[in-house]
Amino acid sequence: MPHASSEETGLVGITRQLAEFVYQTTWDDIQPIRNVLECGLLDYIGLASYAVDHVTSSQAFIEAVNNLSATGPGSALGLSRRYQAQYSALLNGTLVHSMDWDDTNSVASLHPGASAISAALAQAELEMSAASGRKVAGREFLTAVAVGYEVTCRLGRSISDVLHRMGFHPTCVAGVFGAAATAGKLAGFDASQIEHLFGVVGSMASGSLQCLENGGWNKRFHPGIAAHNALLGVQFVKAGMMGATKAIDGKRGLLYSYARLPEPDLHIVEALGSFWETSNTAIKPYPSCRLTHGPIEAAYALRKQFPDRDAALADTTATIEVTVGRKAFMGVGATAPNKIRPTNIVEGQFSLYFQFAVAWLYGRNTWDMYALLKDEAVLALCRRITVLVDDDLRDGSLVTVARLGDKKVKVEFPLGEPENPIGLPEVEKKFLPMAEKVYDVQGARDILDLFYGLENQPDLSVFTQALRK
């Protein structure tokens, strides 16, 4: 049975509270998470622009959007063409997630920046192209990104685990509400309009993970879909469309229809405005599913225990045991053939066996590792890895124990987790090699200079122009 709505319980609904939060949040309010946002934005720019020429799927996505979109105000990172805003949102959101290297929230188990930043760039450029000729300032842009992150993360915290079990991608399902929050704020919507906007995009929440069965490219464009749909929603509401109220907590809203929650989860709005769930967001050091990061670092640590790694595995009956939590096992460590012997990049990104083997043999897990999918040494080692489950680990824990013979290592918080974060200087080191391949060395440095001055930039178009090639 559908749960009782907030109207029936007499409570101010979750949807309305989130809408009020989006409307009321100011630049001063977001200071506790500025570093998270800045890290996410710089990382986003490097990843989205680099993906244009370095990810196989990108050309198909670019060609499709080129065929769909007329010329408009929207910039696509690393490209010279201008697009209609909804299509630049779609393309940027797709490109940035194509390597699965974009920021993740450890509690919500999703990627908040890919959809929120894509919606922000597109809506800001749309606003600046209007007849009014208004300028969007850097602070306004970052504040809008902040509310998008927070709405996405709070919804994901509540329903991501259920969505994953049901085959949905939380990055897309929750992300469309976050992207709408961002776009609606930049559009100047009040709380009532934002609630209507949530009602409109609630009919466009989507994202099937069936693609993980064969390595399909669907997952890559999920954040783009979320950002695209948010841009559409803003235009419908601007034109006067009445959206569904209580799109999140109503009888047929998100929480019941997608997650089958028997009652609205009021934890979604607990300490809203004073605690930022966004603070649990971090930069990914490796281009693979976050659940493989503990095993990757366990492999790095274990290989240091064996100066002669060939001798360590000379006994052909010797195996490496890797112990993880239940969630990690189900996501990346099961014994399905495409985990033990992945045949494409997506399967490799979700294979503990492949990621551990690459880390053990080569000591680095970067985008070029996927050229090793047919490497005989890697595949042979994959077959000698046994993955065990420790059900005593808390749900979602990334604790990993790896053992070979009498040597054992334990990783509690892999690099990139909130407890072991990557700071802005390290993000810059991740950004520059990618950006320099797209914009050249001077162009990448120019973007970096504009990025560091974004807080005081009165006209965002100066920044977005630099992001085009």
pLDDT band at 398 (very low <50, low <70, confident <90, very high): confident
Secondary structure (DSSP) of 378-442:
HHHHHTTEEEEE-TTSPTT---EEEEETTEEEEESS-TTSTTS---HHHHHHHHHHHHHHHHHHH
pLDDT above 70: percentage of residues in the chain: 97
Residues 6+ apart with CB under 8 A from 319: 384, 385, 386
Residue 262's pLDDT band, with cuts at 50, 70 and 90, is confident
Q: What is the DSSP string of 326-368?
A: HHHIIIIIS--HHHHS--SHHHHHT-HHHHHHHHHHHS---GG
Q: Is the pLDDT of residue 394 over 90?
A: no
User: What's the average model confidence in pLDDT over 276-300?
Assistant: 97
Domain with CATH 1.10.4100.10 in the chain: 6-285+437-467
Percent of the chain predicted with pLDDT > 90: 90
As a whole number of angstroms, the distance between CA 26 and CA 270 comes to 19
The amino acid at 17? Q
Q: What is the pLDDT of residues 72-111, one digit of tens each?
A: 999 999 999 999 999 999 999 999 999 999 999 989 999 9
Beta carbons within 8 Å of 268's beta carbon, 6+ residues apart: 14, 18, 154, 155, 157, 158, 248
How large is the greatest C-alpha to C-alpha distance in the chain, in angstroms?
A: 74
The β-bridge partners of 168 are 208
- Res 310: pLDDT: 87
Tell me the whole-structure pTM to 2 decimals: 0.94
Task: With a cut of 60, say whether residue 300 has pLDDT above it.
Answer: yes
Q: What is the structure's pLDDT at 131?
A: 74
Beta bridge partners of 400: 411
pLDDT tens digits along 33-77? 999 999 999 999 999 999 999 999 999 999 999 999 999 999 999
Average pLDDT of the segment spanning 351-375: 97
As annotated, the residues of the chain forming the CATH 3.30.1330.120 domain(s) are 290-411
Q: Report whether 284 contacts 293 (CB < 8 A).
A: yes
CATH for 290-411 (2.30.30.90, 3.30.300.20, 3.30.1330.120, 3.30.450.20): 3.30.1330.120
pLDDT range class, residue 227, cuts 50, 70, 90: very high
Average pLDDT over residues 427-437: 98
CATH number for the domain whose boundaries are 6-285+437-467: 1.10.4100.10
Given a cut of 80, whether residue 395 has pLDDT beyond it is no
Which element (helix H / strand E) includes 314? none
